[in-house]
């Protein structure tokens, strides 16, 4: 005779899989240990570029921060050309030299990118979510450029484990100096080659959105909700920042109220384990030079207005139990951190 508990478990699984549920996952500092990796790359790679542009490395990093703030992206594909234009490098460097500097910078990036790591338990957790919740769509919602996000997911072996990707579209800048035209085209060709080398045909959803739609805007959530087929069940967003994922969730709630659309609630799960290195000396040194790396301060008024943290995770593998609680409505054993 079949164990009644086993029968109950099978019925619960059928209930889970009868409705379309969506998990929106941040990429950087939620799945990949990006902050530490990025600090090491930038601090070790800007000296040559600063020397060629005849400025101090600290000043170059400040320019880098200005460019990143203007584009919302710290891995902006045209950062070398944009900085060169800002410091008037065209007055003493031929376009071929600027092109070579850009190629060298991004070759170093690609080489260093091979070493990016995921947090402990990430692969196992995503695999378990896919097998246990057949009607759960796992969508990456990131403020990284689309070409970086695809490459990062592929390099870390995460690409086959997700159902979709929504990232920021990389747009060519309009620099005043026509001599940069060939440099920009070369960079554009490079990022297109990186995007096209990865097989993404299995993805149900692949969108490159405007920088204006970056978190904490809820535009990415809105596009995902409208793009997926079928009625939505539970909607969840997991990331390391209240100021981004948390506020995006709150903006989604407000958007629905303003438009009078049927309310589909959203649960914010905080990946606290992704914030372990905020006090690391390398990152703090980089923050001093690249001010846009600092996360916006979340004041008490924002916290009270925003959605509560459904759970704050100390480890990635706790995500499975939290999602089961949300879908089933039964409390899990994980306590709020």
Cβ burial of 3 (10 Å; 0-12, 13-18, 19+) is: exposed
3-class SS at 105?
A: helix
In a domain, 300, yes or no: yes
Query: For residue 18, is pLDDT > 70?
Result: no
Strand arrangement of the beta sheet that strand 164-168 belongs to: 205-209, 164-168, 136-145, 20-25, 232-239, 266-270, 309-312
Give the separation between CA 271 and CA 239, rounded to whole angstroms.
Answer: 5
Each residue's pLDDT tens digit, 120-147: 999 999 999 999 998 899 999 999 999 9
pLDDT at 193: 95
Mean pLDDT of the chain: 86
Give the separation between CA 172 and CA 170, rounded to whole angstroms.
Answer: 7
Could you give the number of structural domains in the chain?
Answer: 1
Give the separation between CA 251 and CA 222, rounded to whole angstroms.
Answer: 10
260: phi > 0 → left, psi -120 to 50 → alpha, else beta; which?
left
> Whole domain around residue 310: which residue ranges?
4-328
Cα atoms in the 13 Å half-sphere on the side-chain side of 219: 13
323 Cβ contact list (under 8 Å, min separation 6) = 21, 23, 129, 133, 136, 236
In a domain, 333, yes or no: no
CA distances from 31 to 213, 244, 273 (A): 21, 15, 10
Whether residue 322 contacts residue 269, with contact meaning beta carbons closer than 8 Å, is answered with yes
Q: How does DSSP assign 163-187, residue by residue?
A: SEEEEEPP-----S-GGGHHHHHHH
**Model pTM score:** 0.88
| Dihedrals phi, psi of 275, to nearest 5 degrees | -105, 15
Query: For residue 310, is pLDDT > 60?
Result: yes
In a domain, 335, yes or no: no
In a domain, 337, yes or no: no
Length of the chain: 337
CA pseudo-torsion sign 60, 63, 65, 67: negative
In a domain, 210, yes or no: yes
Q: CATH code at 277? A: 3.40.50.1000
Q: Quickly state the pLDDT bin for 72 (edges 50, 70, 90).
A: confident
Q: Quickly state the pLDDT bin for 278 (edges 50, 70, 90).
A: confident
In a domain, 334, yes or no: no
Query: Which one is predicted more confidently, 289 or 124?
Result: 124
In a domain, 336, yes or no: no
């Amino acid at each position: 005779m079949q164990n009644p508990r086993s029968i109950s478990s099978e019925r619960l699984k059928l209930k889970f899989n009868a409705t379309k549920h969506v998990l929106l996952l941040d990429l950087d500092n939620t799945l990949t240990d990006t902050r530490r990796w990025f600090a090491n790359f930038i601090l070790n790679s800007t000296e040559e570029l600063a020397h060629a542009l005849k400025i101090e490395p600290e000043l170059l990093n400040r320019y880098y921060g200005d460019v990143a703030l203007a584009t919302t992206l710290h891995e902006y594909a045209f950062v070398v050309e944009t900085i060169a234009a800002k410091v008037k490098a065209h007055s003493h460097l031929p376009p071929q030299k600027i092109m070579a500097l850009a190629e060298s910078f991004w070759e170093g990036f690609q080489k260093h990118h091979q070493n990016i790591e995921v947090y402990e338990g990430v692969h196992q957790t995503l695999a378990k979510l896919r097998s246990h919740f057949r009607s759960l769509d796992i969508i990456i919602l990131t403020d990284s450029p689309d070409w970086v996000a695809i490459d990062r997911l592929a390099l870390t072996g995460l690409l086959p484990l997700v159902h979709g990707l929504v990232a920021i579209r990389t747009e060519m800048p309009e620099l005043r100096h026509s001599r940069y035209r060939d440099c920009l085209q070369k960079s554009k060709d490079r990022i297109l080659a990186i995007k096209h080398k990865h097989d993404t045909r299995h993805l149900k959803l692949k969108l490159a959105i405007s920088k204006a739609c970056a978190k904490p805007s809820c535009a990415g959530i809105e596009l995902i909700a409208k793009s997926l087929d079928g009625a939505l069940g539970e909607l969840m967003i997991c990331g390391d920042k209240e100021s981004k994922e948390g506020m995006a969730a709150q903006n989604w709630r407000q958007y629905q109220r303003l438009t009078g659309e049927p309310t589909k609630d959203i649960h914010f799960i905080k990946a606290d384990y992704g914030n372990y290195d905020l006090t690391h000396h390398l990152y703090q040194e980089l923050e001093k030079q690249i001010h846009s790396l600092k996360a916006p301060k979340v004041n008490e008024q924002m916290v009270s207005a925003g959605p509560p943290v459904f759970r704050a995770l100390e480890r990635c593998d706790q995500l499975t139990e939290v999602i089961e609680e949300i879908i089933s409505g039964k409390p899990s054993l994980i306590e709020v951190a």
